[in-house]
Structures are given as structure tokens and as C-alpha cells.
Amino acid sequence: MTVETRRIVFTGRVQGVGFRATTASIAQNYEVAGYVRNLRDGNVELLATGESATLDDFIAEISRRMNRYIASCVQEIQHNGGESLPGFRIRYS
């Protein structure tokens, strides 16, 4: 099992459309930890840790459900050998 941490920045009309709440709701169905937050530049940042295939499915569901608001997303992957963030939450800073 490969545990990764992924940082993804979603661009488009992603603030003010329930993006963070939808992402947090989706996260409840996956074994992932991390956070989602609005950035000052109007984008949304997702930081998630989990098994590689689980993260693929989690991110695919976010993209499918929020597709009409997303213009693009940039993803960075780190292999972190099993470290995990506690739970999944919406961050407000």
C-alpha cells in the first residue's frame, strides 16, 4: 500500500458554490485525511493523505461533482511513508 499526500489547487469559479462543503461531504466516504480551504486568489486548495488508489477515487468524485465550476487543477504528490493527517476538515485560514 502506498500512502501519499496530495496538494491540489482548483481554479475556476470554485468559491461561493459549496465547493468546500461538498468536498468535506465526499471525504466522509473515503479513508482520507486533510483539509480543504479557500485561497485569497479565489482558488481552492485541497490537501489529502491516503492510499494512492483511494485518493484517485476521492479526487475523481470531487471533479465529477464540481466539474461545472472547475477550470483546472494542479496536483503535487508526495510519498510520505504512512504519515497521516488527523481527520478531514474545512480550514478557514
Interval 13-20 mean pLDDT: 97
DSSP assignments along 41-65, one per residue = TS-EEEEEEEEHHHHHHHHHHHHHH
> What is the distance between the alpha carbons of residues 83 and 60, in angstroms, rounded to a whole number?
23
CATH of domain 3-82: 3.30.70.100
Band of the pLDDT at 84, cuts 50, 70, 90? Answer: low
44-69 pLDDT per residue, tens: 999 999 999 999 999 999 999 999 99
- The residues that are catalytic are 20, 38
The pLDDT of residue 79: 66
pLDDT, averaged across the chain: 92
The pLDDT of residue 34: 94
The pLDDT of residue 2: 82
Domain chopping of the chain, boundaries: 3-82
Q: Which residues contact 92 (CB under 8 A, 6 or more apart)?
A: 37
The pLDDT of residue 3: 86
